[in-house]
């Protein structure tokens, strides 16, 4: 397609959105057809598509159209990571206190997990702050949570590198794992990034229930797992912290 | 499970936090209140509005959070210091808006007290400044017709915010030693109101609260909850950081910032513009003293950038904005909005942004805003080291701004020592909870509290020392440009 070429149906869709955005009134098909100088049939097709992607909503009683909620959130859906850290600070500290493990908060960044907050394990041992580090999404609990709930359906950066023998390296295995994560609401990595280390994470959501980050703990397999499974009490601590931050963000 | 609650009545909001035995936060509630600016330099609060907010957060955090009724066994109070409230003993209503610590209306009044400067230094441990409660009381008595007579009869009562809240919660008119040490009216050694200081400020004794230790049961709320501690916010943070040994130092980053160093059972007189204050007094034990350096504007500068300039939409975004550039672009921001506090104590200073060129962007200004907090900290640390004859080896930082990782890194770079954040950044609330828990036997002693302190994060200096020195020189030049501005 050349520089000057445009797609007619996209232009028409944009025209409809502009019309709907131009005033407070909902518009009917007849009004839209007149303003767009289009046959109702053509217009219906475009409207159906816009309703499908959530950019336009149809009023159930009047049958008239208005801008959809998804569109309204497009420009404002981004939660500043420093804001996320500020709002999470107390809950992350509390999680570190209860679990006696290091706490991590991450967001998706270029297919990986950007560490936006890190609380040391409360044993006063020598530890180095890891904020700003990029972790592989497919090999960490944080990453699995973020991939499983990503509103834009972002996928892990391919190929999936094998960090340990336990790392999930096929797209199929990862897809199955993400399905599991969605089903139970939390994720674990059992020595999939570093041998001897386990991580557990749960999603942080904003007021629209969009996942904006993940919070979790990371530590030695001896402390975090029992019989090859993440310890249930730690899972519930992590989920409690995630819910507390979610509550805070929805206020 | 039993818990301890603390109310933190701060400059911009009131909070209530509930803690468990490990010092971990169990629930939190927060409400903001209005900042009233009737004239340039004046800052007021509505004490009735503050009381409503405090009742609200107490209800939210204690009863509205799913904790079992009766599981909260003690309540501690910590508060913005020096803010001055006068109320009617009979109606319990404030007789005027509270004059907030930042307010500079007493500027000329303070200048007129110059003859007593040595007396205040020696007895109260404080320099002459608009900051403290005494001149604010005097101003209200002078400027409100009929008020002095009512105060002399004891019909109008004075209190700092701790005193106001304890009065409302328990009906007793008391204050704790740490808050009393900020009035310019208390003798630091006797821990009693000093007749000569009262005389110098012309404040009637009849309006003053009884001075009590920081931790003891003052009374009970209507619901039967013991109100068992009061500490000024910075002293509470010192306590929450478990700085129980001489030499231990903390810095709290809120609207303003405050460094306190525990100096033990003896007050140390500063030769470098710091002030001497009571750190805490637990029950019948002797008081512990502290050296304090206060910085008027740090976090509130970030809020100013948000509210007055609209450069950011939330305080946390300052870090995002500041990270759009690698340095300050030659720009320096001295936020002397109400003059400069320690170690300068210059009421005539006003804010300046120096070094502007066409190159400077809002990112550079955001960076200069964060650096201003760091350099002001450096000035106080230098003074503290000189007074105490020590060199700071690490800074224990707490408060809301510790969420800002870039600020923490800049602090480490500027101070040339590691900056450490404790596990609970909310040390102010924690300190008040600790004191209330000690008073009621919830915790057996300070060793149990020390065991709760853990390092949550640490930032180490990364800057080239030559760059640090050059930046320090530029900061000092910017400070000079802020001086001798206001003549009122």
Average pLDDT value for residue range B426-435? 92
pLDDT > 60? residue A2: no
B465 touches chain A (CB under 8 A): no
Minimal-distance CA residue of chain A relative to B315: A83
Q: Tell me: the pLDDT tens digits for B350-408?
A: 999 999 999 999 999 999 999 999 999 999 999 988 888 777 888 999 988 999 999 99
Task: Give the one of A80, A90, A94 whose C-beta lies nearest to B314's C-beta.
Answer: A80
Point out the residue among B26, B314, B454 whose CB comes nearest to the CB of A83. B314
Least Cα separation, residue A77 to chain B (angstroms): 14
Rounded to 5°, the CA angle B223-B229-B230 comes to 115
Contact assignment for B456 to A86 by CB distance below 8 Å: no
Its CATH architecture, for the domain A8-68, is Orthogonal Bundle (1.10)
The sign one gets for the Cα dihedral A171, A174, A178, A184 is positive
* pLDDT, tens digit, 9 for 90 and up, residues B140-190: 999 999 999 999 999 999 999 999 999 999 999 999 999 999 999 999 999
Q: Cis peptide leading into B343, omega within 30 of 0?
A: yes
- Asked if B394 is an interface residue toward chain A (Cβ–Cβ < 8 A), one would say no
The percentage of chain B sitting over the pLDDT mark of 90, rounded to a whole number, equals: 76
* Residue B113: Cβ within 10 Å count: 18
Chain A hits for B458, CB-CB cut-off 8 Å, are 120, 127, 129
* A89 vs B425: which has the higher pLDDT: A89
**pLDDT tens readout for residues A216-235:** 999 999 999 999 999 999 99
- B290-307 confidence digits (pLDDT tens): 999 988 889 999 999 999
CA distances (Å), origin A212, targets A69, A118, A247, B58, B314: 18, 17, 13, 30, 17
Using the Cβ of B23 and the Cβ atoms of chain A, whether some distance falls under 8 Å is answered with yes
pLDDT band at A1 (very low <50, low <70, confident <90, very high): very low
**Residue-averaged pLDDT of chain A:** 89
Closest Cα in chain A, distance from residue B311 (Å): 14
User: What is the tens place of the pLDDT at every residue in A51-60?
Assistant: 888 888 888 8
pLDDT of B450-461, one tens digit each?
A: 888 889 999 999
Structural domain spans, chain A: 8-68, 82-249
Q: What SS3 class is residue A167?
A: coil
Are B317 and B283 in contact by the 8 Å Cβ rule? The answer is no
CB B339 within 8 A of CB B346: yes
If you average pLDDT over residues B200-213, what whole number do you get?
Answer: 96
At B64, is the pLDDT very low, low, confident or very high (cuts 50, 70, 90)?
A: confident
Which residue among B318, B423, B458 places its CB closest to the CB of A96? Answer: B423
Instruction: State chain B's mean pLDDT as an integer.
Output: 93
Task: List pLDDT tens digits, range B9-19.
Answer: 999 899 999 99
- Which stretch of A175-184, A203-212, A236-245, B362-371 has the lowest confidence by average pLDDT? A203-212
Choose, out of A107, A114, A129, the residue to mutate when testing the contact with B (most B CBs < 10 Å): A129
Task: Return phi, psi of residue B252, to 5°.
Answer: -110, 130
**Mean per-residue pLDDT for A117-133?**
92
Nearest-CB residue to A96 (from B23, B456, B458): B456
Residues 6+ apart with CB under 8 A from B478: B332, B333, B334, B352, B354, B355
Strand partners, B99: B44, B84
A8-68 and A82-249: identical CATH topology: no
Tell me how far apart the terminal alpha carbons of chain A are, to the nearest angstrom. 47
Q: Is the domain A82-249 a CATH 3.30.2040.10 member?
A: no
What integer pLDDT is reported at residue A29 of this predicted model? 87
Confidence of residue A131 (pLDDT cuts 50, 70, 90): very high
Instruction: Name beta bridge partners: A67.
Output: A56
Mean pLDDT of A135-155: 90
A98 touches chain B (CB under 8 A): yes
B28 interfaces chain A, CB cutoff of 8 Å: yes
Contact assessment for residue B80 and residue B10, using Cβ atoms and an 8 Å cutoff: yes
Lowest mean pLDDT among A73-77, A136-140, A232-236: A73-77
Residues within 8 A of B (CB atoms), A 202-241 only = none
Contact between B240 and B424 under an 8 Å Cβ cutoff? The reply is yes
pTM of the model: 0.78
Per DSSP, what are the bridge partners of residue B395? B419
| pLDDT exceeds cutoff 60 at A76 | no
**Alpha-carbon gap, residue B381 to B385, rounded angstroms:** 6
Task: Name the pLDDT band for B273 (thresholds 50, 70, 90).
Answer: confident
Please indicate if any CB of chain B lies within 8 Å of the CB of A155.
Answer: no
* B64 reaches A (C-beta below 8 A): no
Residues B402, A129: C-beta atoms closer than 8 Å: no
| Interface contact B24-A97, CB threshold 8 A | yes
The per-residue DSSP string of A46-94 comes to HHHHHHHTTSEEE-TTT--EEE-HHHHHHTT-PPPHHHHHHHHHHHHHH
Which band of pLDDT confidence, cut at 50, 70 and 90, is reported for residue A125? confident
């Amino acid at each position: 397609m050349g520089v000057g070429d445009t797609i007619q149906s996209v232009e028409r869709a944009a025209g409809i959105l502009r019309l709907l955005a131009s005033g407070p009134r909902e518009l009917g098909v007849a009004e839209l057809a007149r303003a767009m100088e289009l046959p109702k049939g053509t217009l219906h097709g475009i409207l159906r598509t816009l309703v499908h992607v959530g950019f336009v909503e149809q009023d159930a009683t009047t049958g008239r159209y208005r801008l959809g909620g998804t569109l309204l959130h497009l420009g404002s859906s981004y939660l500043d990571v420093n804001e996320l850290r500020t709002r999470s600070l107390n809950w992350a500290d509390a999680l570190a206190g209860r679990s006696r493990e290091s706490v991590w908060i991450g967001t998706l960044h270029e297919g990986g997990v950007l560490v936006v907050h890190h609380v040391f394990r409360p044993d006063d041992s020598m530890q180095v702050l890891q904020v700003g580090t990029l972790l592989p999404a497919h090999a960490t609990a944080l990453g699995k949570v973020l991939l499983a709930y990503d509103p834009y359906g972002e996928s892990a950066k391919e190929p999936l590198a094998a960090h340990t023998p336990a790392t999930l390296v096929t797209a199929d295995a990862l897809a199955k794992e993400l399905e599991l994560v969605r089903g139970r609401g939390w994720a674990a990595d059992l020595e999939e990034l570093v041998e001897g280390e386990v991580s557990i994470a749960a999603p942080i959501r904003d007021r629209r229930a969009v996942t904006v980050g993940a919070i979790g703990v990371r530590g030695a397999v001896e402390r975090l797992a029992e019989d090859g499974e993440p310890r249930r009490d730690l899972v519930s601590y992590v989920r409690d912290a995630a819910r507390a931050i979610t509550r805070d963000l929805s206020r | 499970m039993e818990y301890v609650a603390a109310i933190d009545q701060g400059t911009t909001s009131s909070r209530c936090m509930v803690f468990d035995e490990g010092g971990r936060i169990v629930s939190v509630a927060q409400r903001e209140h209005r900042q009233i600016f009737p004239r340039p330099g004046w800052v007021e609060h509505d004490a009735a509005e503050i009381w409503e907010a405090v009742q609200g957060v107490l209800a939210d955090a204690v009863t509205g959070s799913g904790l079992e009724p009766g599981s909260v066994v003690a309540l501690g109070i910590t508060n913005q210091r020096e803010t001055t409230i006068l109320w009617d003993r009979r109606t319990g209503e404030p007789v005027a808006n509270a004059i907030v610590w930042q307010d500079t209306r007493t500027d000329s009044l303070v200048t007129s007290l110059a003859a007593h400067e040595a007396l205040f230094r020696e007895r109260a441990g404080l320099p002459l400044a608009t900051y403290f409660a005494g001149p604010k009381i005097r101003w209200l008595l002078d400027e409100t017709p009929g008020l002095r007579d009512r105060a002399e009869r004891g019909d109008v009562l004075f209190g700092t915010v701790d005193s106001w809240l304890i009065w409302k919660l328990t009906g007793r008119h008391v204050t704790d030693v740490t808050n009393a040490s900020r009035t310019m009216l208390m003798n630091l050694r006797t821990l009693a109101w000093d007749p000569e200081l009262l005389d110098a400020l012309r404040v009637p004794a009849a309006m003053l609260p009884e001075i009590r230790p920081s931790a003891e049961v003052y009374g009970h709320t209507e619901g039967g909850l013991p109100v068992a501690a009061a500490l000024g916010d910075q002293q509470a943070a010192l306590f929450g950081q478990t700085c129980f040994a001489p030499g231990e130092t903390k810095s709290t980053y809120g609207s303003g910032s405050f460094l306190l160093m525990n100096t033990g059972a003896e007050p140390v007189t500063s030769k470098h513009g710091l002030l001497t204050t009571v750190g805490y007094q637990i029950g019948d034990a002797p008081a512990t003293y502290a050296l304090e350096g206060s910085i008027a504007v740090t976090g509130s500068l970030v809020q100013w950038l948000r509210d007055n300039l609209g450069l950011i939409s939330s305080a946390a975004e300052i870090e995002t904005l500041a990270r759009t550039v690698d340095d300050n672009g030659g720009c320096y921001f001295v936020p002397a909005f109400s003059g400069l506090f320690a170690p300068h104590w210059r009421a005539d200073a006003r804010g300046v942004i120096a070094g502007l060129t066409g190159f400077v962007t809002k990112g550079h200004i955001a960076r200069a805003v964060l650096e201003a907090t760091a350099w002001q900290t450096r000035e106080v640390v230098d003074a503290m080291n000189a007074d105490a004859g020590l060199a700071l080896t690490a800074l224990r930082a707490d408060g809301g701004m510790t969420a800002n990782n870039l600020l923490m890194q800049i602090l480490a770079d500027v101070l040339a020592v590691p900056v450490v954040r404790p596990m609970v950044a909310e040390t102010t609330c924690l300190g008040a909870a600790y004191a209330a828990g000690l008073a009621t036997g919830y915790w057996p002693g300070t060793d149990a509290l020390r065991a709760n302190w853990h390092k949550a994060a640490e930032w180490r200096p990364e800057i080239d020392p030559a760059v640090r020195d050059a930046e320090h020189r530029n900061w000092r030049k910017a400070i000079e440009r802020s001086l001798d501005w206001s003549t009122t």
